[in-house]
Amino acid sequence: MKIVILGAGKVGTSVIDNFINDESDIVVVDLDPTRLAYIASKYEVVTITGHANDLSVLDRADLRSADLLVATTQHDEVNIMACKIAHEIYNVEFKIARIRQRRFLEQRERLFASKIFPVDYIIEPTLIMANSLYNLIRYPGAEYFNYFCDQKVALFACQAQYGGIFVGKVGSSAVSELNKLGICLVALIRNGAMVQVNDFTTINAGDQVVLMAETDNVMLAMSYFQKNPPAPKRIMLAGGSRTNTFLAQFLRKRASIKLFEEDHTKARQLVKELSNVLVIEGDCTDENILFEERIDSTDIFVAVTGEDNVNIMSAILAKRMGAKRAIAVVGRTLNKSLVENDEIDIIYSPQNDLATELRAQGNITPFKRIFRDPRDNLFQVLQTQLNGSFGNKEVEGVTYEQLKVPHGIRFLAICNQDDFRLITPSTVLKAGDQVLVLVNDNDDLQTFSRLNGKSLLDI
C-alpha cells in the first residue's frame, strides 16, 4: 500500500509511526525542510519539500499511484483542497483530511457528503482526544480504554490491587472463572512484559490486567481486580484548549468543573462558551491558586495545555497537593520516560487513539478496527471478518480448537450484530463471523492476514 502524507507535524508523524511497520510505501510532503530532515533521519520514508496543493509537488510524490492520501497540514483549506485535487486529478481512492474549524465541521454534510469536496474521512484530533479522556474519567481505575463492535465491547486495562477477588489466583483458574462472567483476560503485564497465563502463573498485586467485556460491564470487570473509586464529582481541567472545551461540555452535567486558562482574552471567551463551568484565569502550576481552589478536594486533575512539560509539572504538583488522581497529556512518547510511575496516575498520548480511528476507515487495512498496546506495543487487538477458510482449513462448523491457530495469535471473542461470545476451545466458528483477535507483533499480524485470506501487502 502506498500512502502520501501532507504535513509532517504531530498528526502526520503519528500516521507514519503507526503505518511504517505495515510494509507500506510512505511519502511525506511538507514546506519545512528541517522538519522533513528529522523525519528522514528517523523513518524509511520519501520526503518532498513543497506545498500540499502544488501539482508539481504532488507529481513528484507520484500521487496517482497512491492508495491513500492523508492531508494533515495546519490549514483546513489546504487539506480540503488537497483531497479535491487528489480525487479529480489523480484518482486517489481514499482521502483523509484533518479539519479543525467549526465552520467546516458544522457544515460537513453539505460540504463533504455531497462530494463537492470529496473527503472520505475527517480527522478531528481534539474530539478523539476528548472522547478518550472522557472515558478515562468516566471509568476511574482504567489506565486506557478502547471500543470495538460499534462501542458494544470495550478493551481496557487496570491495575490489580490487594483485596481484588482475582488477585492471588492462579492464571488458568482466573481465566476460566472470568469467561463464565463474560469477561476475557486479554493480557497480563508485569514489569513491562507480557506474562504467559497458565497453571504456573499467579495474578499479583501491581500487575496490569488487560480485559475485554461488554461496555455495560466495564466497572464490574474492574471490580474483580481492584476497589473501584467512586465516580468523580470535582474535576479540574488545566488549559483552555479545544480538547478541554469538549471535555467540559461532556462532563458539566456529571460533575463540578473548574477550568484554568492563563490568557485573559481566552478565559473571557470560555466563560461565554461554557455555562455551569467555573473558568479561573490563572497559571495551573501556581501553588497558591491551586491551594485557593481546593486542589486537595479534587477527585481528578486533567492537564491539556498544549505544552507537554506544563502538563507534566502541573499534574505532579496537583498530586502532591492532594488531588486524588491526575492525568497529563503528552504529545511525544519520549516524555513518558521522564516521569516515575507513581508520580502521575495516567500519562496519556493521543497518537495511538488517532491511529486506531484512522485504521478503522476504508480499506486501509483488512480489519474493521485495530488497537495497539499504547505503552510498550506488546500486543495488538483487531476486529475483522473471518473468511471461508483459515490457512488450508475450512472454517464453517469447525471448533476453535480444531482450527489450530499458530502461536502468537489468539481468538478472543465473536461479536456479530447481536451476539457477543468469548471464544473457548469448543466454540464453533462460521464464515462471516466478526472476531476479535489478539496478535503479539507485526509478524503475527501478517501471519493472521495471510491465513485469513488477505495479506496486508495486497491492500
Give the mean pLDDT of 104-132.
Answer: 85
Q: Is the pLDDT of residue 448 over 80?
A: yes
Mean pLDDT score, 396-416: 94
Assigned domain for 367 exists: no
Give the pLDDT mean for 85-106. Answer: 90
- Considering only residues 242 and 47, tell me which one the structure prediction assigns the higher pLDDT: 47
Q: What is the model's pLDDT at position 335?
A: 47
* CATH code at position 281: 3.40.50.720
| Residue 291 sits in the same domain as residue 183 | no
Same domain, 44 and 74: yes
Residues 54, 150 within the same domain: no
pLDDT digits (tens, 9 = 90+) for 177-218: 999 999 999 999 999 899 999 899 999 999 999 999 999 999
Does one domain contain both 98 and 182?
no
Name which residue leads in pLDDT, 428 or 228. 428
Q: Answer with the one of 55, 88, 123 that is the final residue of a domain.
A: 123
311 inside domain: yes
| % of the chain beyond a pLDDT of 70 | 94
Backbone conformation region of residue 255, classed left if phi is above 0, alpha if psi is from -120 to 50, else beta = beta
Neighbour-count burial of 179, counting CB atoms closer than 10 A to its CB (0-12 exposed, 13-18 middle, 19+ buried) = middle
pLDDT in tens, 6-29: 999 888 888 887 777 666 799 999
* Range of the structural domain that residue 88 is part of: 2-123
Q: How many domains does the chain have?
A: 4
Within 13 Å of residue 306, how many CA atoms lie on the same side as its CB?
A: 10
State whether 444 and 420 are in the same domain: yes
Query: Could you tell me if 409 and 446 are in contact, meaning their C-beta atoms sit under 8 angstroms apart?
Result: no
Residues 118 and 67 in one domain: yes
pTM above threshold 0.75: yes
- The pLDDT value recorded for residue 222 is 96
Tell me the per-residue pLDDT of 83-94, one tens digit each, with 9 for 90 and over.
999 999 999 989
387: its cell numbers:
473468511
Domain assignment present for 187: yes
**205, 224, 243: which is the final residue of a domain?**
224
pLDDT in tens, 253-296: 899 999 999 999 999 999 999 999 999 999 999 999 999 999 99
Report the run of H or E that residue 223 belongs to, with start and end. helix 218-223
Domain end, chosen from 123, 150, 180, is at 123
Mean of per-residue pLDDT scores for the chain: 90
Looking at the fold, whether 173 and 205 belong to one and the same domain comes out as yes
Q: Looking at residue 187, which CATH number applies to its domain? A: 3.30.70.1450
For residue 52, pLDDT over 60 is answered with: yes
Count of C-beta atoms within a 10 Å radius of residue 303: 31
Q: Residue 336 and residue 338: Cα distance in Å, rounded?
A: 5
Domain assignment of residue 373, yes or no: no
Q: Are residues 219 and 146 in the same domain?
A: yes
117 and 156 fall within a common domain: no
Is there a single domain that holds both residue 98 and residue 154? no
Which pLDDT score, from 0 to 100, does residue 459 have?
39
Indicate if the pLDDT at residue 399 is higher than 60. yes
Percent with pLDDT over 90 in the chain:
68
Arithmetic mean of pLDDT, 101-118: 81
In a shared domain, residues 338 and 386 = no
Domain membership of residue 79 (yes or no) is yes
Is 372 part of any domain?
Answer: no
Position 115 in a domain: yes
CA gap 369, 365 in Å, rounded: 9
Do 255 and 181 share a structural domain? no
pLDDT at 282: 93
- Domain membership of residue 446 (yes or no) is yes
